[in-house]
Structures are given as C-alpha cells and as structure tokens.
Structure 1
Amino acid sequence: MWPFRRVFAQGGVDPGYRGGVTSPRLPLVIGHRGAPGYRPEHTSPSYELAIALGADAVEPDIVASRDGILVLRHENEISGTTDVASRAEFAARRTTKTIDGARQTGWFTEDFSWAELQTLRSRERLPKIRQSSASFDLQSPIMRLSDLLHLLDRAGDESGRAIGLVAEIKHATYFESIGLSLDELVAAELTDAGWNSGDGRLTVESFEKTVLDQLRGRGIRSKNVFLLEAAGSPPDLVARFGSAADSYASFLTPDGLRMLRRDVEGISVDRQMIRPRTNAESGTVSSVLVDDAHAAGLEIYCWTLRPENRFLDRAFRRGSDPSSFGDWQRDFALVLAAGVDGVFADHADLAIAARDAVVTSFSSRGTVGGSA
C-alpha cells in the first residue's frame, strides 16, 4: 500500500501534513546535490537554497582528496564541475584512469590535497541547459562533507525543523584500492560531527552494498539505501567476482528484493525504472517495482525529477528547446502517485508543488492519477 493511500485511507488530510512540510507518511523531496536547477551543484548556495525551498533532505556525493578529506563532487573527475582545466598550475595533473570499469581523462580529487582543492571554484555541470545556474559560475569553492554537516545543523537551528542528509558514497571500491577507505573516513566524520545519534536524519546510499555493510559494522546508525541501475553489475562485486558478479537486475526480482531486506532499508533507482501506470477505471497510479519493493519490506526512492524537456519523456515535452520546461507537473505527479517513498529533485520547490497537487487531488477526489 503506497504512502498516499495510507495517509488518506480514512479520508481527509493527515494532521501531520502542513503544506510543504512532509509528514513521515508522505514521500520525501530530497534536494539532489542541493538545488542545481538554480545554483551550481554541491555548493553552499545550492544547499542553502534547497533548504529554503522546503526540501526535506539534501543529497551530497562524497569522494576523497589525496590527504583523506571528504569532498562533495558528483564524481572524483572534476573538470566538468570546477575551473581546474583553466588552472595552469594544475595542467600536469591531467591524466587518464579507469574508474569502475570506465576509462576517463581529466583531473581527479585523489590527486590533489585539500589545500589545493579549496583554491578551485565550482561551475555549472550543464551550462547549455541551465544558463541561469551557470551565471553563478566561479563564485563558490568546493565544499567538504564537514562543511555541509555544519550548514545543516545551523539551518535546522534557524528553521526549527530537522533537515535530513542522504549521503551518497561514490566509488568506494576504487578508493579502497588506492588506500583511501571511504567507510572509515565517512564513519569518523559523521561521528565527530554528531551525526551518528540515530535520530533519523541520516541516510547513506551507494551503488556498492559492501560499503554500506562496512559502515554498519563501524556502528553508523543510518538508514541504508542500495542504488540500483537498470543494467550492469555493482563495482564491488565485479572487483571480487569478475564476469560472474551478480547483476543489478538480479536484485530487482521479488526474491532479490527480499534478500536485500536483510541488509538495507531501501533501494533507489532511476526514475525510468518506476514505469508508473494509470488504471483506466479507477484513475489510480501504480508501479510493479514500487509494489514489489514494498512487499519485500523495503522503501523505494527514485532519481531524478527534472523539468527541462531534455529530461522528460516525449509525451511531456513542450516545444523543441531542450532547456525549456515541459509539462513537468504531469510528469512529476505520475512518479509521486506511483507510491515512491521519496524523490530526488534538482528543483525542490517544483517537486514539493507536484506533491502538494497530488495530495490535494487525492483528498478531494479519493484518487490519484486521473488528471495525470
């Protein structure tokens, strides 16, 4: 039974729901790397804006510097999100590496000390699509995980509401292979900053279940979420078993999901894997994967809600400009109404507006999806 049905099974609005503030029974809106629809991702202004827009939680990607400082970047290759390529003093650091089976050329966080990384400035990753965000290029430095934890604590004190952290650990097996154990570094950082209190604010996610198990073994009291792709295999399993590694798809079967429940509390998938369907008679929206995950006792999240035509299914695009907003209201509503427990969004305010509209639709008509 999906969240809106639980909330409204007896009719009326859950008394815990107040506008943009999410009841525990409603899907979370998670600011994906902050608010990158408006500001360059993983910067202080991006996270602050996501919180101001009402995000229930924010999601940083975590990689490491050469000296073991946890930094926030989409990938450890940083030429697409910083000005490193224009910095003559770092020209010789350009190199080619194989990360999780993919060959990449550029500049990598693990080849820099934190003192060097903090001299770089952030820039918009998708400048042609998000020109407004790109207008803020080179204004903000790279953040550390510790910086974000302090920002969240401060914002919580000022707003009076708990703001969650959904921390994604990137390339753990690769970093382990070069002597940087992300599980050890992350566990120490969270504990030192008081984020291991078990108060429900902390979620940790990764495409590698091994690092989630390691964190739990280190006593980290987080909700653990396993990220799953539609194709391929987890890098940690490939490193151990080669071509015999279990595929991501094997975890998405009903049996695979039930086995996952022994070790994690949730899964998170590409939004295309949700495949919401509308019942022509009742107007309700459902998803086989969402139903299977819930039947296995798992929460399910999806990434990423984005309003631009480039990221929407053809039916929801408006015009030919890939950077223009399409019919994001209907697109977001379908995903939310399918019963996910949370969504990652680049524009937290738009996802909250879509959630509010779905709630209003359900409470007034007793159904969701008829207008979607």
Structure 2
Amino acid sequence: MVAAVLAAVAVASGSARGVAARPLVGEGGGGAWGDDRAPLQASRAFNIAHRGSNGELPEETAAAYARAIDEGADFIEADIEATKDGHLVCFHDTTLDATTDVADHPEFAGRRRTLEVQWANVTGYFVTDFTLAELKTLRAKQRWNFRDKSHDGISPIITFEEFINIALNAKRVVGIYPEMKNPAFMNKHVQWADGKKYEDKFIATLKKYGYGGRYMSPEWRAKPVFVQSFAPTALVRASGLTDSPLVFLIDDVTVRTEDTNQSYDEITSGEYLDYMKKYVVGIGPWKDTVVPPTKDNRLATPTDLVAMAHARGLQVHPYTYRNENKFLHFNFRQDPYAEYDYWINDVGVDGLFTDFPASLRRFQEWTAKKKD
C-alpha cells in the first residue's frame, strides 16, 4: 500500500505535467524512515497544513499533502468521511460537486439528490452514496477559480489509510490532524456490518497504525496526532476509545452544532469550556470568532476566548489563514505575514490552520532568526 501511495504522490504532485514539487523549506515527503528522523518541533506555534497545501494544489489529495510536507508543515490536516460501503476517505464537503469532476460522469447522473445536512437542505452528489471503487474513478479539482487550476483532473480521492501513510513515510516526523467530519450524518447514512459507529471506525484506523498516547508523551511524539471535530458528542465518545489528544472545533457563533443543536455562542462560554476540558486538550475556533471583523473589513476588539482557553490549560488552533487579498482584513495591509505576526505574537495562539504552509514556515524562520 505504501508504495502505491508514494507512486500516486509522485504522479499527482506535478511530474505528469513536467512540474516537480521543489522542497522550499525543511525535509520532503516519501521514502522509508527509521528512528533517526528529525522530531516534530514544539518550540513555536504548530504549522497545520489545512487540507494539505491546498492554496497551490487541489485539497485533500496526495499531491497537496506531499507538497505541504515539502514546505515544512508540522501537521497535515484532513476531513474524514465515509463511503456507501463503509470505507473512510479524505474529503471535506458532504457532496462531491465543488471539488471533483463528478458532474462529468454520466454514469452517476442519477445520484444527485437533496438531504438535510446540519439543519439545512443540501443538493448534490453525496459521498455517502458512492462506493470507494466509484469514488476512485473521480478526479479532484481546485475549489476556487482564483487559484491555480492546472492540476485539475489529475489526483484521485484518497483513503484515510493512504493519508496516514503519506505522513508515516515522510523523512521527518510529521503529525496528522484528522477531523471526524459530520459524524451524525455519517452514522445516519452509512451502516457497518459489525454494528460499529463512524467514531469507532475512525479511532480503530488510527490504532491500526499505532497512533495513541497522551499529548507530548513519548508515544505521541513518535506519531503525533490531534483528533478534531465540531461535534461534542463525537469527541466525548472518542475520549473513551483513545488517549490521543482531541480538539473541539468552534464555528461562527450563529452556527448550531450538528449533534447537540447548540449555538457556538453558548459553546464559547466558560461553563461549557469547563465541561469540554475534561475531554479535549484544545479548541480550534474560526478566527473571526476569536477576533470579529467590522463591517468595513477591519478587526474589532478581540474576544476573551483565547485567554479563557489558556486559563483552562487548553491550546488554541484557529482556522483558516489564506494568502489572497480577499481573505485578509485591511489591518494587515494585504500582507499575510502581518496577519501571522498578529495572531502568533499579539493574540498568542498555539497553532494555525493555513492553506499556505510554506508562507507560515518562512515567517517563522525569519522571525526566529531575528530573535537569535
């Protein structure tokens, strides 16, 4: 399996078009490894490659993850969903429409339908209506038209196990940061023959590859992992299945949780953080929940969410940092490095989900040299 994954990475990362992925900073991915691999750094905020280096390559693909490792990411992040036949795959949306060529496959035309997802009706081609073999016939595409589209139509959807193998075969220790994505929806629309739930299958896959151990223990340092979810009940269930550190994701305060139908305004209260700290080591809030913007795209006064989390011994890993002007508040003068500086040095976060891990790594290397 490992050889197949690495072969896919080599093709998908650009060689098919004559464009090789060049290591920009740090060790690249691929190849056998031993105990002499460079360890995961823990002296600065974690560089978390959001769906891989998806600012450059289609998200959640082997190519995007290999590129992120080449660019110095500490962790590669993935959303994990389930297929009709019970396999776990790396995919963000519940529907395939936005990031694959499913619409170009006439054999699947009859699969499009409408289902309720997180209290809203969604129409599209649902991941849970396809077998793994069927999904493997599709090819990924860039989500946004303002990003490079030249790699569309090359990379297939990968499984959770293929994702894990990409990290394990890096030349240095690279962590994984998988999300239990829409667990209530997965459990409703996918049934496993052994009666297990989505959360059980998710944790069992991690255990199969030796992931476990409490945060910063020797076992964890050997195979670093954070397990994340927006669903508090899934995290509570997972806490009884693994010692791996869990992270509670927090959305906009107006959004309600999929499983408990709570508003995130309620969830960001001290009382609820006191409850969740029994199960998680950190929170992953949307950055606009931490520091809300004004109507004219400037930063308002920060909330006390980071201070509240730190007072309870919780790490804070906000999402998502993107280089493009349309995602930068005017305070940062269209400079993504100014945004990183603000969040790391002023707000004091412990990790950042970024679409551009090379940019974050460069910023941290430059600022580390200045401190020296």
TM-score band by shorter chain is 0.7 to 0.9
Q: Where does 1:187-336 land on structure 2 (aligned, <5 Å)?
A: 187-196=203-212, 199-200=219-220, 201-218=224-241, 220-231=242-253, 232-238=255-261, 246-275=262-291, 288-316=304-332, 326-336=334-344
Partner of 1:282: none
- Distance between the aligned counterparts of 1:179 and 1:139, measured in 2? 28
Name the TM-score, length of structure 2 as normaliser: 0.80
Structure 1 stretch 19-28 or stretch 328-337: which is displaced more?
A: 19-28
- Distance between the aligned counterparts of 1:303 and 1:80, measured in 2? 20
Partner of 1:143: 158
Partner of 2:7: none
Checking the alignment, whether the CA contact within 8 Å between 1:286 and 1:339 is kept in structure 2 is no
- Secondary structure class of the residue paired with 2:353: strand
Partner of 1:243: none
Deviation at 1:162, TM superposition (A): 1.4
Partner of 2:298: none
Q: Where does 1:171-190 land on structure 2 (aligned, <5 Å)?
A: 171-180=182-191, 181-190=197-206
Deviation at 1:60, TM superposition (A): 0.3
- Distance between the aligned counterparts of 1:84 and 1:179, measured in 2? 20
Specify which of 346, 349, 364 is matched with residue 355 of structure 1: 364
Specify which of 156, 167, 173 is matched with residue 152 of structure 1: 167
Partner of 2:108: 90
- Secondary structure class of the residue paired with 2:177: strand
Structure 1 193/23 Cα, relative in aligned 2: closer, same or farther at 3 Å?
closer
Checking the alignment, whether the CA contact within 8 Å between 1:39 and 1:124 is kept in structure 2 is yes
Checking the alignment, whether the CA contact within 8 Å between 1:274 and 1:335 is kept in structure 2 is no
Structure 2: runs of 5+ lacking an equivalent: 1-24, 28-38, 192-196, 294-300
- Secondary structure class of the residue paired with 1:91: helix
Counterpart amino acid of residue 129 in structure 1: F
Partner of 2:8: none
Partner of 1:129: 146
Partner of 1:344: 353
Counterpart amino acid of residue 229 in structure 1: D
Deviation at 1:273, TM superposition (A): 2.5
Counterpart amino acid of residue 354 in structure 2: A
Deviations 1:208-241 (A, max 9, x none): 01111212222x2211000011322211102xxx
Partner of 1:165: 176
- Distance between the aligned counterparts of 1:188 and 1:254, measured in 2? 32
Structure 1: runs of 5+ lacking an equivalent: 1-17, 239-245, 278-284, 318-325, 365-372
Checking the alignment, whether the CA contact within 8 Å between 1:56 and 1:164 is kept in structure 2 is yes
Percent identity for Structure 1 against Structure 2 = 32
Checking the alignment, whether the CA contact within 8 Å between 2:26 and 2:71 is kept in structure 1 is no
Deviations 1:48-67 (A, max 9, x none): 00001000001000111000
User: How large is the Cα RMSD of the aligned pairs?
Assistant: 2.3
- Distance between the aligned counterparts of 2:203 and 2:308, measured in 1? 31
Counterpart amino acid of residue 163 in structure 1: V
Partner of 2:84: 66
- Secondary structure class of the residue paired with 1:62: strand
Deviation at 1:178, TM superposition (A): 2.5
Partner of 1:30: 48
- Distance between the aligned counterparts of 1:167 and 1:292, measured in 2? 25
Deviations 1:90-125 (A, max 9, x none): 000011111111211110111011111111111101
Structure 1 55/287 Cα, relative in aligned 2: closer, same or farther at 3 Å?
farther
- Distance between the aligned counterparts of 1:354 and 1:66, measured in 2? 42
Deviation at 1:358, TM superposition (A): 4.1
- Distance between the aligned counterparts of 1:276 and 1:92, measured in 2? 42
Partner of 2:296: none
